[in-house]
Amino acid sequence: MREYVLSVKVNNNIGVLARIGGLFSRRCFSIKSLNSAETEEENISRLTIVVAADIRSLEQIKNQLMKLYDVHEVRILDDAVTREHILIRAGKTSEDRHKIIEIANLYRAKPVDVGADSIMLELTGEPVKIDSFIDLLKPFGIIKMVRSGITALERD
Amino acid sequence: MILSGSDIIVECLLEQGADTVFGYPGGAVLNIYDSLYKYSDKIRHIITSHEQGACHAADGFARATGKTGVVIATSGPGATNLTTGLATAYMDSIPLVAITGNVSCNLLGLDSFQEVDITGVTIPITKHNFIVKDIADLADTLRLAFEIAGSGRKGPVLVDIPKDITAAKCEYKRDDISKAGEQPALNGELLDKVAELIARSEKPYIYAGGGVISSNAEDELKRFAELCDAPVSCSLMGQGAYDQTDRRYIGMLGMHGTVKAAAALNDCDLFIGIGTRFSDRVIGDPTVFGKNAKIIHIDIDPAEFNKNVEAYTAVQGDVKSVLGELCKRIAQKLNVWTDKMILMNFGEPVQRGTEEFPVTPQAVIEKLDELTDGRAVISTEVGQNQMWAAQYYKYRQPRSFISSGGLGTMGFGLGASLGAKVGCPDKTVVNIAGDGSFAMNLNELITASAHNIPIIEIVINNNVLGMVRQWQRLFYEKHFSQTTLDNRHIDYVKLGESFGIQTFVIAKTEDIEPVLKKALDISKTAPCMIEVKIDRDINVLPMIPAGKPVVDPITEIDLEA
């Protein structure tokens, strides 16, 4: 069992997410993250899905997805650029805020909203980088956060 | 020309050659039924007693004819009543197009009267579904629905049409369909490899599933079996894919397959599964299934490969073309083992009656086989009746065994038999039911009578839910919980006659032949029913308990134990 990144091209039709989500749940495949948005082609979206699977169920997931009418292409990404985006608000005191800004500078995270005690930062990077960034902010108290889930594109 | 949405629907059905549809009217489909009224000289609509029955009828029509079945239902409960029928068709890969009405677009999402999100409900039980919110999309959506239902691995497609779309007007141009669906390209190298495996095999075994029937590959299968000189077994869904009077046929494989089919499975060195999904009801324990054999899996749906059973080689393609190509690549074989398997007597179990109930299902079904020369269309309900119908009738041709294999839908058979008979008016159509399944959807006897659809309904009555009772006996310490039905006191003769259906009883062995003959005679012009009284403890044998290896099937159950 390990994590795989799937890149799935779909018709941007009503209910396409329900079809894909439903397929994962009823076939007992687990989704770690899912990101969906439009592409350069009209009415086509690209989903980046991170799944935890063994090789046999990975093959099943791919084949079952391909059977959905709205799915055009399923690629299991191997050599790809993977990125994730996070918005995170942390800090309880103004002192915290300074320390948080120091960490943000190390990671080249950008402050996007500054409150009296807390600060909201944004960061884009490899998922591991995002993980370690979150870990460093934990001692200051994370108030709220949202991760985009992985987006990925194959290298040339 | 400018037509209303509902006229466009009917025109599109006619484009597809769908001149018979099953359904039930209601508020949201009033416009569609008004068009059906207008087009009644071109399209036949059969109203059933219940939408479930209509869906099973469309399904039986599709299974018997090979065409795509069509069912129409209204919004809300009409639509939800289709779900069991759609799930049944989906599990068995049967091409259906279901058209449901819905509330008008401006009322969608407001919990309006008889509104249900039927596309949401049916996502997991249809191959695909649509809701049409723009009349300009209506005709092409319906055409696409038929294309999806009838191509590749077939299946049901639902099209939900809000009422205002059926009333709106739009330009319509007839579009004659091109029938040729795209076939996946075959991999020549892989076929060479399979041919090589067959050439080297000394004990090849052919196992045919429903895919052989849906791909119309019975001739190719016959030729393939001759060339391989292999014994042939069929799954439940594959009954009829291979002529069962042929010497190479060794019976059904699976939980209630023959001892011979199971023995050959364990002894073979090459297992060729064709158009099959290796259901759990066949493979038992997947870790030891065909353990001495290399498994070749041929199917149109690659998602079936390595799903339940790991294949040594998997070939994706339409079964008909794959077998055709393989036949070109293999030289005539002659296997000593095959002859040995065919000739060996494995002591298949035989049913025995009791003093009070001397008649056995085996005796009735074998007599029916004899009297119809194995050429009737047999539909079944689910449970013991289904297994007996599969075991004791010798199917000679495809599309003659109509049964809910995957979903196991009790109440399927009667509706399905009506659809089969409407689709094949020249064939004798018999539904073999148990008393439990019969009671689930007996309302469709009304349909048989009202439309004079001359099927024969055989109710094998043991006054118990026999299959469940059998499991309770074997695995639940004979706690016959809720499976004894003898307080129902149904008078089948009165029941049938109240619907205008002549009904007979078989209670003694000597009744079997005359009653069957009489029923076959009546069924030339009118439906009829037979109640067969049997003992409650005739079990379905052989039996391999669920999840257990396909070895040493149970062939006897000690009733005293």
Judged on CB neighbours under 10 Å (0-12, 13-18, 19+), B535 is: buried
Predicted local confidence at residue A96, as pLDDT: 87
A59: region left, alpha or beta (phi > 0 left; psi from -120 to 50 alpha): alpha
Q: A90: which strand partners?
A: A119, A142
From CA B265, how far away is CA B257, in angstroms rounded? 11
Residues from chain A that touch B307, judged by Cβ atoms under 8 A, are 60
> How do residues B158-200 score in pLDDT, each as one tens digit?
999 999 999 999 999 998 766 556 677 899 999 999 999 999 9
Cβ atoms of B201 and B269 within 8 Å: the answer is yes
**Is B381 considered catalytic here?**
no
Cβ atoms of B244 and B396 within 8 Å: the answer is yes
At residue B39, does pLDDT exceed 90?
A: yes
Predicted local confidence at residue B182, as pLDDT: 67
Q: CA-based angle A68:B90:B256, to the nearest 5? A: 130
Which one of B11, B22, B51, B381 is the catalytic residue? B51
Amino acid, single-letter form, for residue B495: L
Predicted local confidence at residue B179, as pLDDT: 57
Under an 8 A CB cutoff, do A63 and B128 touch? no
* SS3 at position B17: coil
- CB under 8 Å, gap of 24 or more: what pairs does B107-112 form? B108/B162
Residues from chain A that touch B181, judged by Cβ atoms under 8 A, are none
pTM of the model: 0.96
Establish if A19 touches chain B: CB-CB under 8 angstroms: yes
Q: Between A60, A64, A69, which is nearest B128 by CB?
A: A69
**Is B114 considered catalytic here?**
yes
DSSP code of B110? T
Average pLDDT of the residues of chain B: 97
Establish if B546 touches chain A: CB-CB under 8 angstroms: no
From CA B94, how far away is CA B407, in angstroms rounded? 12
CB half-sphere exposure, B331, CA atoms < 13 A? 3
* SS3 at position B551: coil
Indicate the pLDDT class of residue A116, thresholds 50, 70 and 90. confident
Q: How far is CA A152 from CA A60, A108, B450, B452, in A?
A: 21, 21, 61, 62
| Strand positions, DSSP E, A1-150 | 2-11, 30-38, 44-53, 71-77, 80-90, 110-114, 119-125, 142-147
User: DSSP of B316-341, one letter per residue?
Assistant: ES-HHHHHHHHHHH------HHHHHH
> How do residues B395-407 score in pLDDT, each as one tens digit?
999 999 999 999 9
Q: How far is CA B277 from CA A69, B210, B298, B316, B406, in A?
A: 20, 9, 10, 12, 10
Under an 8 A CB cutoff, do A63 and B303 touch? yes
**Is B51 considered catalytic here?**
yes
Cβ atoms of B354 and B535 within 8 Å: the answer is yes
Under an 8 A CB cutoff, do A60 and B303 touch? yes
Cβ atoms of B414 and B493 within 8 Å: the answer is no
Average pLDDT of the residues of chain A: 95
Predicted local confidence at residue A14, as pLDDT: 85
Predicted local confidence at residue A50, as pLDDT: 96
Picking from A15, A123, A64, the residue whose alpha carbon sits closest to that of residue B160 is: A15
What is the ipTM for the molecules in this complex? 0.91
> How do residues B277-332 score in pLDDT, each as one tens digit?
999 999 999 999 999 999 999 999 999 999 999 999 999 999 999 999 999 999 99
> How do residues B364-422 score in pLDDT, each as one tens digit?
999 999 999 999 999 999 999 999 999 999 999 999 999 999 999 999 999 999 999 99
Which of B306, B308, B310, B316 is best to mutate for the A interface (most A CBs within 10 A)?
B306
Under an 8 A CB cutoff, do B124 and A26 touch? yes
Cβ atoms of B209 and B185 within 8 Å: the answer is no
Predicted local confidence at residue B181, as pLDDT: 61
- The residue whose two tokens read 């007597």 is B345
Residues from chain B that touch A26, judged by Cβ atoms under 8 A, are 124
Cβ atoms of B234 and B217 within 8 Å: the answer is no
φ and ψ at residue B97, rounded to 5 degrees: -120, 120
Domains of chain B, with CATH numbers?
2-171 (3.40.50.970), 188-343 (3.40.50.1220), 361-533 (3.40.50.970)
From CA B205, how far away is CA B217, in angstroms rounded? 18
Q: Between B124, B127, B128, which is nearest A22 by CB?
A: B124
> How do residues A22-75 score in pLDDT, each as one tens digit?
999 999 999 999 999 999 999 999 999 999 999 999 999 999 999 999 999 999
* SS3 at position B116: coil
Picking from B84, B151, B120, the residue whose alpha carbon sits closest to that of residue B406 is: B84
Picking from B205, B398, B407, B230, the residue whose alpha carbon sits closest to that of residue B320 is: B398
Cβ atoms of B49 and B446 within 8 Å: the answer is yes
From CA B93, how far away is CA B152, in angstroms rounded? 10
At residue B490, does pLDDT exceed 80?
A: yes
Please tell me the least confidently modeled range out of A113-117, B87-91, B425-429: A113-117
DSSP code of B177? P
Predicted local confidence at residue B180, as pLDDT: 57
Under an 8 A CB cutoff, do A18 and B123 touch? yes
From CA B99, how far away is CA B86, in angstroms rounded? 12
At residue B518, does pLDDT exceed 60?
A: yes
Cβ atoms of B129 and B122 within 8 Å: the answer is yes
Cβ atoms of B485 and B436 within 8 Å: the answer is yes
Under an 8 A CB cutoff, do A56 and B306 touch? yes
At residue B341, does pLDDT exceed 90?
A: yes
Answer whether the bond into residue B514 is a cis peptide, omega within 30°: no
Please give, rounded to a whole number of angstroms, the shortest distance from the CA of A63 to a CA of chain B.
Answer: 5
Please give, rounded to a whole number of angstroms, the shortest distance from the CA of A38 to a CA of chain B.
Answer: 21
From CA B442, how far away is CA B527, in angstroms rounded? 13
Which one of B127, B154, B163, B421 is the catalytic residue? B163
Q: Where are the alpha helices (DSSP H) in B413-510?
A: 413-423, 435-441, 444-450, 466-475, 492-498
Tokens of B364: 């009735």
Indicate the pLDDT class of residue B14, thresholds 50, 70 and 90. very high
Picking from B158, B162, B142, the residue whose alpha carbon sits closest to that of residue B12 is: B142
Judged on CB neighbours under 10 Å (0-12, 13-18, 19+), B560 is: exposed
Name every residue whose Cβ is closer than 8 Å to that of residue B232 and which is 6 or more positions away in sequence.
Answer: B206, B207, B208, B221, B225, B242, B246, B248, B249, B250
Judged on CB neighbours under 10 Å (0-12, 13-18, 19+), A1 is: exposed
- Nearest-Cα residue of chain A relative to residue B119: A15
**Is B113 considered catalytic here?**
yes
At residue B276, does pLDDT exceed 80?
A: yes
Picking from B444, B423, B433, the residue whose alpha carbon sits closest to that of residue B380 is: B433
From CA B476, how far away is CA A106, in angstroms rounded? 67
Under an 8 A CB cutoff, do B119 and A64 touch? no
Cβ atoms of B12 and B142 within 8 Å: the answer is yes
From CA B489, how far away is CA A121, in angstroms rounded? 76
Residues from chain B that touch A57, judged by Cβ atoms under 8 A, are none
Cβ atoms of B502 and B528 within 8 Å: the answer is yes
Tokens of A138: 């934990």
Structural Rg of chain A based on CA atoms: 18
Average pLDDT over every residue of B85-102:
98
- The residue whose two tokens read 């249809």 is B126
Q: Where are the alpha helices (DSSP H) in B39-187?
A: 51-65, 77-80, 83-91, 118-122, 138-150, 163-167
Picking from B492, B478, B482, the residue whose alpha carbon sits closest to that of residue B537 is: B478
Tokens of B22: 């099953």
Which residues 21-80 in chain A show a CB within 8 A of chain B? 22-23, 26, 56, 59-60, 63-64, 66-70
From CA B393, how far away is CA B382, in angstroms rounded? 16
pLDDT over 70 percentage in chain B: 99
> How do residues B435-456 score in pLDDT, each as one tens digit?
999 999 999 999 999 999 999 9
Domains of chain A, with CATH numbers?
2-78 (3.30.70.260), 81-154 (3.30.70.1150)
